Structure 1
């Protein structure tokens, strides 16, 4: 087990410094605004002013943030993004081991959450170096809170695969997930994404699309997946988070033999594909899984 202790707290310095030994550096993951620059915390501002190194997902975005906040970054500013993440780790850890404070920031929100940072933290923990965080804005939590869907249990799924086959396979695995799910998606792909969600979860599943969070044109569209598809079809702009309600577990649903219902329809002359689609829509279950269950049942020898 690996345990680290950070002594910085409510009564500590503004940048959350701990009482670590002289010469021992640290890594600080700091959340940046997801839209409204006023959400930049005093601790983030202090660290931008004082860190020896600032590893930024996009150095231009970080400089723009600093300029908007009226401050200068005196430390060394270097790029740290998905394409150079692996090659930068050794250099960054060496600097921290030598006593430097390394501030890690992404374009928006918390580093390491759907942004670069995880591999660096993993390597730092393995090396026994101190890692701490400056919490702040989060698109995941903000979208979840505004969605109107259950927030007591949720899962963050990030971006879905772009390839239809891989996306369908992942959504089939998630079809029975009972926790609220949070996804990210690009605006030009949100309609196909919502369509894929409806095919996997049923068009009546409740969901919300949060757009431009904390910005001037913030909008949260709520409804069924079918309703949201219609809402998105004219075109959607801005940064997006999609929140989808979990599957509803009920004793009534457990008592229904969906395979038998499909087989009964087929006995009347309905094609397998059409029978599966009808039962899946009626009972609000994933078509792909029902189809597989029916095929498996037909391949089993009669008892």
Structure 2
């Protein structure tokens, strides 16, 4: 296989993945893109400038900031530069633009205006975590960051409790324990998962086990976290009696009766109120 140099037509926007931890993961085509760009749209211009220096880039194109708070306002300006014939490079602080990072709005504006787009592949934390997790990779979904507020978090996890695909989440180390606790309550403590920390960095670490096991380890964690959770077993119709038994089992594991009833109702399609009342009657 021959190495193909970057061939970049004028008036094209390139979305380029940048290293997520290890500088050696920068591809020759990324370095070439930095050299050839007429304009670089960067999530953080200081970090991109430092990356460019560390990669030994000698030609320094102008940098323009493009982050979650200003992308909507900057998209037209950035796409217009490409429409006028400039080579525009779009990068974020780490990983692939648009994947839980800025870039989606720019892509949409470019498509609407007929401005050509291409991509330079590279590191992506969600896919690296999936590969390392040991969980099924044939069908998966990326959920990004979960809601911070408890009510919204529980509601979102209830919606996902019957999801059969492997799920990938991003999480901050400060919230990992809370998130794992909520997952264990809503998905069941025995659901398999993996906590992937500091991927590609010196202190890379992966914990694999059940949600119940992992929540006990998630104290005083540091570094960037990707959480991978196994999907639910294929849904089989539950009788009301089986559903109530499942609720009572979850209650025995420490879950509140109301929460267990909601989760099992979402899984079975049965009425949460009726299951709650039946389970409550059996506990007496």
Classify the TM-score, shorter chain: 0.7 to 0.9
Structure 2 CA distance, aligned partners of 1:201 and 1:296? 20
1:268 paired residue number? none
1:83 paired residue number? 69
What SS does the corresponding residue of 1:75 show, helix, strand or coil? coil
Structure 2 CA distance, aligned partners of 1:263 and 1:220? 36
Structure 2 CA distance, aligned partners of 1:76 and 1:11? 28
**In the alignment, is the contact (CA less than 8 A) between 2:251 and 2:260 conserved in 1?**
no
1:141 paired residue number? 127
What SS does the corresponding residue of 2:199 show, helix, strand or coil? coil
**In the alignment, is the contact (CA less than 8 A) between 1:172 and 1:289 conserved in 2?**
yes
**In the alignment, is the contact (CA less than 8 A) between 1:201 and 1:286 conserved in 2?**
no
Higher gyration radius (CA)? 1
**In the alignment, is the contact (CA less than 8 A) between 1:56 and 1:79 conserved in 2?**
yes
Q: Find the partner of 1:260 among 241, 264, 271.
A: 241
Structure 2 CA distance, aligned partners of 1:156 and 1:225? 18
What SS does the corresponding residue of 2:175 show, helix, strand or coil? helix
**In the alignment, is the contact (CA less than 8 A) between 1:204 and 1:226 conserved in 2?**
yes
2:49 paired residue number? 63
Counting only pairs closer than 5 Å after superposition, residues 167-246 of structure 1 correspond to structure 2 as 167-233=153-219, 235-246=220-231
2:251 is the alignment partner of 1:277: yes
- CA drift at 1:60: 1.2
**In the alignment, is the contact (CA less than 8 A) between 2:165 and 2:230 conserved in 1?**
yes
What SS does the corresponding residue of 1:100 show, helix, strand or coil? coil
Go from structure 1 to structure 2 and tell me whether the alpha carbon gap of 1:102 and 1:68 turns closer, same or farther (over 3 Å shift).
Answer: same
Aligned residues: 270
**In the alignment, is the contact (CA less than 8 A) between 2:261 and 2:276 conserved in 1?**
no
Structure 2 CA distance, aligned partners of 1:143 and 1:264? 35
Go from structure 1 to structure 2 and tell me whether the alpha carbon gap of 1:262 and 1:158 turns closer, same or farther (over 3 Å shift).
Answer: closer
2:31 is the alignment partner of 1:45: yes
Go from structure 1 to structure 2 and tell me whether the alpha carbon gap of 1:79 and 1:298 turns closer, same or farther (over 3 Å shift).
Answer: closer
TM-score (normalised: structure 2): 0.87
1:290 paired residue number? 264
Structure 2 residue runs of 5 or longer lacking an equivalent are: 278-284
Go from structure 1 to structure 2 and tell me whether the alpha carbon gap of 1:226 and 1:279 turns closer, same or farther (over 3 Å shift).
Answer: closer
**In the alignment, is the contact (CA less than 8 A) between 2:12 and 2:82 conserved in 1?**
yes
Go from structure 1 to structure 2 and tell me whether the alpha carbon gap of 1:49 and 1:41 turns closer, same or farther (over 3 Å shift).
Answer: same
2:8 paired residue number? 17
- CA drift at 1:197: 0.9
**In the alignment, is the contact (CA less than 8 A) between 1:211 and 1:220 conserved in 2?**
yes
2:61 is the alignment partner of 1:36: no
Structure 1 CA distance, aligned partners of 2:89 and 2:244? 61
